[in-house]
Chain A
Amino acid sequence: MKEFNAFIKKEFYHIFRDTRTLMILILLPIILIMLFSFAISVEIRNVNIGILAPTNDNSINQLAHKIETSEYFNITHWLNSPNEINDLMRANEVDLVLAFGDHFDQRMLSADGAQLGIVIDGSNPNNASMEMMYLMGLLQSYFSEKASVLPSSAGSLTTNVRMLYNPQSRSAYNFAPGIMGLILILICALMTSVSIVREKEMGTMEVLLISPVKPIHIILAKMIPYLIISCFVLGIILTLSFTVLGIPMLGTLHWIILVSLVYILLALSIGLFVSNMVDSQLVATLICAVVFMMPILLLSGMLFPIESMPRFFQVVSNIIPARWYISAIKKLMIQGVEFQFVLKEFTILCGMTLLLITASLKKFKEFI
């Protein structure tokens, strides 16, 4: 046990001597959370709208005013002909064009109804559908106001679109679990594998293996410091989520922590697995970055919803641990569901952890 303590102490020395890396590990989640929640936003803001109106009708002006005063839209152009739409959109001058039909005012109150065309720049489908949703909400509220003053309620709209769990569509809500999934992999998998591979690269691993220290203790001593750091970072992210981001603490905290611990273990065993396969720090870093980080960013549902991915990537996303972790944390943290609703994710994560630990320990024995 004394031998083991000496070992852990040494690992902490390594980490604390390398203050730069340590600062990155601790500051990175803070910066990412701030960045994702305030700067990089997938929320709809400042959507430029062009209006194409053949006649200067009263209701068009009212509607335009309503749109202009909303926080999401700006009316930037009044168009004279439909031919202008294409050019303006290509030049990125407008994101959306409202094309009113002839005699909008009169026809709106007539039996035939008025005509309104909406043209959206669909080059970013996620944004486009969001813009559409927001705009429809605006239009509906306008027409229901109009309809309410009519003597006969001929055709009032009754569609009611509502967003659950994230009523303001705050993207930060979605990013916090994603960042947790990313950072924990970064610390546990990347740092652990690099620190083990470094010993191989420097030749000190040989010295360690010849010493009386048990190989399993070498591995544990490598993992424990990063386990502690990840728990610390987890604490930071959770605190930031609940305070700065204002995510309501709906889910019970201990379940969030339990799921995170399993995920941390999983990430540690990924690190161990990688370190057994490669002999250089560079390769270890590359594998962790390309094989683990990129899929987490792109396929875990952190940035792009899994449902809107091509079928192939949907299948691939199943083997990405972060996908299940992020899904579980979203449910627990934002929807505030009971633990039984994340049982599937939890089981999958536990299974993956067991599999990886077994595989990497087996690999490690071969390596000795």
Chain B
Amino acid sequence: MNVIEVRNLVKKFGDFTAVNNISFDVRKGEIFGFLGANGAGKTTAMRMLCGLSTPTAGEGRVAGYDIWTEAELIKRNIGYMSQRFSLYNDLSVIDNIKFFAGIYGVDKTTMQRRSNELLTRLNLEKERNLMVESLPQGWKQKLAFSIAIFHNPQIVFLDEPTGGVDPETRRQFWEMIYEAANQGITIFVTTHYMDEAEYCNRVSMMVDGRIEALDSPAMLKSRYNASSMSDVFDIIARGETNL
């Protein structure tokens, strides 16, 4: 079953084509890596999928809803976490959880049960009334991710979630991502760490608004005869510039 279906999606800003006729599917429970250099059009494509901006042309369904007409329903069924920090530093851990649960319409009893589970899982019970500001960066990121999937979305969009984090924390973070994927939450993740691309079930490589390659990391590596995703990316990006 596909939770994201995109056909011939185009986004133009004036004369500039940010997203040029892309088509792809994302399956349920999949970890889908959305790769590309800065300015390749990743963020623009992701904004359209999240219902933040309307496409210039093309079709798309996210979580079973149309991106043209059902943006509100899409918003209820997705989670989002960005590279820029997505929690409130001047609010306590529990207030952050309550707020995001509140704006996603999670009812009170569910909220209480899940927030206790969450705090136990993250080992944050003692810190529940602490300001988020005082937490170490790695904990903040884990908390932000847990909050992004708090309302049990079908898909969670992660926009470079591990920016500025040490490798050990990144590894722990990916463990959480796997755990969420095992529960059936589809992960749509952009990253520029090529080692992270290896963790994905499938990755797409975007160059200048187009998807140049889309397959599992193993297949991509054998097709381009490369030893790592980093090499694959180099070959694809270089090939494009030589044209």
Contact = CB atoms under 8 A, between A and B. Distances in A.
A164 interface: no
A204 B51 contact: no
B164 to A, nearest CB: 13
B91 A13 contact: yes
Nearest to A10: B99
Interface stretch (B2-10, B82-90, B201-209): B82-90
Contact of B95 (A10, A208, A368): A10
B134 to A, nearest CB: 13
B50 A17 contact: no
Interface in B193-240: none
A365 to B, nearest CB: 12
B39 interface: no
B103 A203 contact: no
A2 B82 contact: no
A294 B98 CA distance: 41
Interface in B15-54: 50-52
A328 B115 CA distance: 52
A213 interface: yes
Given A2-B105, A206-B84, A212 B99 contact: no
Contacts of A18: 90
Interface residues of B, number: 29
Contacts of A203: 82, 84-86
A149 interface: no
Contact of B103 (A13, A17, A208): A208
A204 B72 contact: no
A212 B52 contact: no
B187 interface: no
A210 interface: yes
A9 B51 CA distance: 26
Interface in A330-347: none
Interface in A272-309: none
A35 B152 CA distance: 56
Contacts of A14: 88, 90-91
Interface string A346-368: 00000000000000000000001
Contact of A9 (B50, B75, B99, B100): B99
A207 B144 CA distance: 11
Contact of B88 (A9, A10, A209, A213): A10
Interface in A75-110: none
B36 to A, nearest CB: 19
B188 interface: no
B86 A207 contact: yes
A202 interface: yes
Interface in B114-147: 131
Contacts of A6: 98-99, 101-103
A112 interface: no
B76 A212 contact: yes
14 contacts: A3-B103, A7-B102, A7-B103, A10-B95, A13-B90, A18-B90, A202-B89, A204-B87, A206-B80, A210-B50, A210-B51, A211-B104, A212-B72, A213-B103
A6 B98 CA distance: 8
Q: What are the nearest 10 A-B pairs in CB distance?
A: A6-B102, A203-B84, A210-B80, A212-B75, A10-B99, A207-B86, A212-B76, A17-B90, A213-B103, A3-B103
A15 to B, nearest CB: 10
A10 to B, nearest CB: 5
Interface string A211-228: 111000000000000000
Majority SS of interface residues in chain A? helix
B75 A211 contact: yes
A56 interface: no
A18 B99 CA distance: 18
A230 B159 CA distance: 39
B105 A212 contact: yes
B177 interface: no
A202 B85 contact: yes
A5 interface: yes
Nearest to A203: B84
A125 B76 CA distance: 66
A2 B76 CA distance: 14
A368 B53 CA distance: 8
Given A3-B104, A211-B103, 5 more contacts: A6-B98, A6-B103, A13-B95, A203-B82, A208-B103
Nearest to B76: A212
A211 B75 CA distance: 6
A2 B91 CA distance: 19
A358 B131 CA distance: 37
Interface in A1-47: 2-3, 5-7, 9-10, 13-14, 17-18
Q: Which of B75, B81, B131 has the most CB of A within 10 A?
A: B75
Nearest to A6: B102
Contacts of A17: 90-91, 131
Nearest to B101: A6
A207 B76 CA distance: 13
A3 B76 contact: no
B63 interface: no
Nearest to A202: B85
A13 B92 CA distance: 9
B78 interface: yes
A10 B91 contact: yes
A310 B84 CA distance: 50
A318 B89 CA distance: 42
B96 to A, nearest CB: 9
A207 B90 contact: no
